[in-house]
Structure 1
Amino acid sequence: MNKKKTALLVSAASLVLLICVILALIYTGMLHINNPSKKKYPIRGVDVSHYQGEVDWDRLKEENIQFAYIKATEGSKHKDVQFDKNWSDAQCVDLRIGAYHFFSLDSPGTDQAENFCSTVTPVEKMLPPVLQETFDDYDLWIRDVYRKPDPTVKWTFWQYSNRHVLSGYSGNERYIDMNGFCGSEEEFDKY
């Protein structure tokens, strides 16, 4: 084989190897393709559920997390098994917290609202409740782990990663969702 063909094969093999390494880093949560600027979005938070297992909120707070949305309920009957512990423990480390409800089409909205309201005890400086479904008159929490939000859309929270690895939790789920707040620290304090 001549030198030109050998060089071409080595280059092609190197490119394939590089692509495989990049994909492996993305898959394992070591490389984030959608990691917004901390200067533009300085307020960072997580959303957690039973999938993260037991959360060490002190360690998670050390990861420069300012807020957490905690799964409370799903549908009209389900309550996240970790909700009470997460809700209580997150307050002990002075994080802004909010609860979210995973909306289901299997039961009326009023039944789901009752489930949520009977589960979540309001606390001081609590973030507004979040539903999986969004409506025009409410703040928008968007999820897009591949692209930045459309600049023409008015959003409040953006889940930009579902494959982040932080310290402070020990569940079967290795990854944690990362979220950004669209606003300054002053705006977040007033929210």
Structure 2
Amino acid sequence: MRKKVVSKRTSVVRKRQRKKGVFSGKLLRYSIILFLIALIIGVGFHYQNGLAYYFSFKSNRVIKAESEAKRISDVRNFQVLEKHEGKSIGIDVSEYQGKISWSYVDTIEKKYPLHFVFIRATVGKDRPDRQFERNWRGAKENKMIRGAYHYYRPNENSLEQAELFITTVTLEKGDLPPVLDIEKLPKNQSIANLKLGLKRWLQTVESHYGVKPIIYTGERYYDDFLKEEFSDYLFWIANYNFYREEIDSNWLFWQFTEKASIPGIKGNVDVNIYNGDLQQLQFITVE
């Protein structure tokens, strides 16, 4: 009889230990889950500004930072314009500016009149700019001196690119010379072949319009690849650096900012300075 009693007691103890072990395991798992939830909530709260910015719900702090950056840009723009008072000021646009209300495009900083505009006409060998015709017509109706430019793709046939530009753009008396915009390096050809393609485009376009094209590029690209071999062309140079406050004597145009606000245009706009006054600008237009 004693053996049976002991056996029953042992069995009951073991069952209680198992239940206690199961309960402890569940409690541990729930504790870990609750801890992780609390941790996620805490991290989310701590980094709420960063997460809000990531998901495009910008906090006041982010908005203030953007406003400050815009203010600094505007101050720099105004300073550059002040130093070039008397020079001709203009802009350049493409489909990225959307539909422009040309009748409102008149000044920058409500003080400096805009005399000219370069309008993107074509891209590579097969794509006219979606807003070119509208912009080309609107600029003329707004009595601005207009010019057309081609965005050159280094890995596409240069003669096909020239042909697209020629079939898209009809220059009239008073328009600026055509512009070749080169910003990228080739992926599947040498620099020597790139330069050969650029020369073919320039020569083909010059032969068609009877006027020597202008080359647009960044200052570093100009110094490294174009300055020597294309010295017989006039250049329109992009440089947005704060240390650069005046146009170089060798530049025909200087694109000094890409973050200006212009009446009639939504978003940021590039602004350019011509290395001369309005009368001198009119002198280089197509006759």
TM-score normalised per structure 1: 0.78
1:52 paired residue among 85, 92, 97: 97
1:37: Cα distance to partner? 2.9
User: 2: CA distance between counterparts of 1:23 and 1:183?
Assistant: 34
Deviations 1:144-180 (A, max 9, x none): 01124574x511111011000111124xxx1000001
Matched, 1:26 2:64: no
- SS of 1:33's partner is helix
Aligned to 1:183: 276
- SS of 2:104's partner is helix
Deviations 1:32-72 (A, max 9, x none): 42523364452110000011111111100255210000000
Aligned to 1:82: 131
Aligned to 1:4: none
Matched, 1:114 2:163: yes
1:186: Cα distance to partner? 2.1
Which structure shows the bigger proportion of residues in helix conformation? 2
1:141 paired residue among 236, 239, 250: 236
Q: Percent identity?
A: 31
The one-letter amino acid of 1:127's match is L
Structure 1 residue runs of 5 or longer lacking an equivalent are 1-20
User: 2: CA distance between counterparts of 1:25 and 1:100?
Assistant: 33
- SS of 2:90's partner is strand
Aligned to 1:14: none
CA RMSD of aligned residues (A): 2.4
Aligned to 2:250: 154
Structure 2 residue runs of 5 or longer lacking an equivalent are 1-63, 183-214, 216-229
**Maintained 8 Å contact 2:247/2:254:** no
**Maintained 8 Å contact 2:262/2:269:** yes
1:185: Cα distance to partner? 2.3
Q: Are residues 39 and 107 of structure 1, via their aligned partners in 2, closer, same or farther at CA, if it must alter by over 3 Å? A: closer
Larger Rg: 2
**Maintained 8 Å contact 1:55/1:168:** yes
TM-score normalised per structure 2: 0.54
1:183: Cα distance to partner? 0.8
